[in-house]
Amino acid sequence: MKSKIVTPIIVTVSIVGLIAWKLVDNKQTIDRNAELSLTVNTVVPVMVEKPQYIDLSEKISVNGRIDSENEVAVYSKTQGIVIRKHKKAGDVVSRRTVIAQLENNVIRENLRLSELDLAKAKKDVERFQNLASIGAVTVRELEDAQITLRSIESRITDLQDQLCNTTITSPASGVINKDYFEEGTLLSVGSSVIDIVDNKALRMYANVTEKEVLKLKTGMEAVITTDVYPGSTFTGRIEAISPKSNDQYYYSVELVLNHQGLRPGMFATAIFNVDGNNRNTPVVSREAIVGGMKDPQVFVIRDSKAYKVAVQVGISDGEYIEITDGISPDDVVVKSGQINLIDGTEVSILNL
């Protein structure tokens, strides 16, 4: 009876002991793993570079729109029906090229009759002058004849101007961007006829900030790039800078462009070299700078360890930044991997 009681007790104690041993062993394993996880690899891999000497100048880059220097809207100066359309949208025209002809028979007939009246009025004035010299007519009668003559001359001038305006010509050279009439169209005074764009004389308009405008001046040249012609560059020259900013505190800059390949309506980028001349200067990659531009620093490798060094920076083109003081040309600067570094961290260089 006792053996039946003792045996389960022994089995139970054995199981409990085995469980306790396993728990202790597991805790020891966990503790060892925790100690391993706290072990820090003191050697940090980094990418490095040496300061380079390249031509670097301060540049201002602004976006803008290319427009034609001359965009002319042509309107009808008289009323009439179009009897002949000489030019249409897309045609190239020169100054005084005939665009359209309006019906002018009535004006011609009125002009012919007025010229007959003019001849008669001149004879009347001549006759009255002769009669006035001998006192046969009064001075008032002579003056009335002279007034009639001047009135007819004014009417003829007006009719000649109307007749001239029935032939619509181009006031400038360029390409007809749009036309607003067809043969048979009745044009009134002020009706739109065509829009002309001079695609040979181009300008670019861009906005710059108040800091940038102080570095620009008229006559300064710029390199012009467009997405339409990747890899190609054009030239431009500042012709005017607005003396006052707009509501957004931007100043307008107007550039004259060379026209080869460019067209009105394209978007472009103007790049100004505000130094005037390129300068040979020591630079490092922009990503090598830590601490921000207010407190710029770099990590320099010495005896396989990284040390943080304060530097003074100059101009930047976005990819490289000028170092004016703080490091020498022989220093090795950390380009990437700085996030894992503190002063004096041992490093392994991956790219040397």
- Scored b (16 or more CB within 10 A) or e, 146-180 reads eebbeebeebbeebeebbebbebbbbbbbbbbebb
Q: Which of the four pLDDT bands, split at 50, 70 and 90, describes residue 350?
A: confident
SS3 call for 78: coil
pLDDT value of residue 101: 95
Cα–Cα distance, 98 to 253 (Å, whole number): 36
Q: Which of the four pLDDT bands, split at 50, 70 and 90, describes residue 88?
A: very high
Query: Taking the domains of the chain in order of start, what are their residue ranges?
Result: 45-56+278-349, 60-67+198-274, 78-189
> Could you tell me the sign of the dihedral formed by the alpha carbons of 285, 288, 290, 295, in that order?
negative
In this model, does residue 80 exceed pLDDT 60? yes
State which CATH number among 3.40.190.10, 3.30.1490.480, 3.40.630.30, 2.40.30.170 fits the domain covering 60-67+198-274.
Answer: 2.40.30.170
In this model, does residue 38 exceed pLDDT 50? no
Average pLDDT, the chain: 86
Q: What is the pTM of this model?
A: 0.51
pLDDT tens-digit series, residues 197-219: 887 778 899 999 998 899 899 99
CB 60 within 8 A of CB 269: no
SS3 call for 226: coil
Domains 45-56+278-349 and 60-67+198-274 share a fold: no
pLDDT value of residue 201: 79
State which CATH number among 3.40.50.10860, 2.40.420.20, 2.60.40.10, 3.40.50.620 fits the domain covering 45-56+278-349.
Answer: 2.40.420.20
pLDDT value of residue 108: 93
